[in-house]
Structure 1
Amino acid sequence: MMKVGKPALAAVVALVLFATGCEGPFKKKKPAPQPSIPPTIQKPKVDIPQPQPTPPPQPKADATIQPTPQPKPTPKRRPTKKVVPPPSPTETTPEPKPTPDASINAPMTNQQADRQRQQTSSLIGAAENNLSNIHRSLNVDEQNMVAQIRNYISQSRKAMTDGDLERAYNLANKANLLSSELMKD
């Protein structure tokens, strides 16, 4: 058990009395305010016992001081994230080139690379074929879609010449999907 000196014990007792609002032995009670206007009708007085304040506990010389419980802090709310809609397919911004990760992307064999080139060329051909088979008037949105398809095709061809076969395939696939949607309308 820890020994506490008399001055420290007196300070803690005074702090407890001050914090709890109890009146210590040195404080004087304030007199109750007198009503300024006496009542005109007198009623019989009934003695109602008023609650008396409890006297502060007298500290013992060997008593341990218990800390007052602190209220739990309220949890902070997380800020809500803003939802940004994805860009429309009619925008003509170029696709960002992904950075290759050696642990994820294993190098392709020559046979796999040839197959991917063939699939990419096939997708580009299908997209161009879809565009050439449109024989109707196009509204502004559809014209923007055609421009986006042509942009994807040219980016895909450039990626093939640069040796980025995965990007070339993805762009050709996008061009083909958009051209198929345009054919449905």
Structure 2
Amino acid sequence: MKIVIIDYGAGNIQSIIFALDRLGYTATLSDDPEVIRSADKVIFPGVGEASSAMKKLGQHGLEEVIPSLTQPVLGICLGMQLMCRYSEEGKTSGLGIFDVDVIRFSDDLKVPQIGWNQIRELKTPLFDQIPENGYIYLVHSYYAPLCEDTIAVTDYGLPYSSAVWKDNFWGVQFHPEKSSALGEQILKNFITL
């Protein structure tokens, strides 16, 4: 099993490597399109600001590579947001995999949302053995609204997409690598898809 974590300088990479290691998997870090294309599973992490992250993807030639992948791909946090059509953060186009725009939480909420929250309305095998209303860890100021690709919902002032899925692409707004046993089960489910 060849697991590749996309390395484009905008990642929460070490904690993902540790989480996979605890599950018995070794991952390769790479920004090489051929290495990424040859993977069995691809993880697309991200922490930071959307427009600068998109520029980094462009510098590595990855803005065309990622949407063309045919194996299972998991976007985490900013990685998920960059897979959407557009982000208000930095007013940037995304990769257009998910047909939804990422928008900022309203000013009457404490932003960013930091800490534990619940996921519900779970769909697809990504959430096998995950209980409804289980707790996951989040840190974000922007969110993807509910859409036809939504496979998990979280409430913070309003319901939003905490996970999305289309074809071979999955995205989670939360950090499975920081979400304790429940998050590790989600990572395991992705690896065994």
Question: What range is the shorter-chain TM-score in?
Answer: under 0.3
Bigger share in strand: 2
- Would you tell me which structure has more helix in proportion to its own residues? 1
TM-score by length of 2: 0.19
Length-normalised TM-score, structure 1: 0.19
Name which one, 1 or 2, has greater alpha-carbon Rg: 1
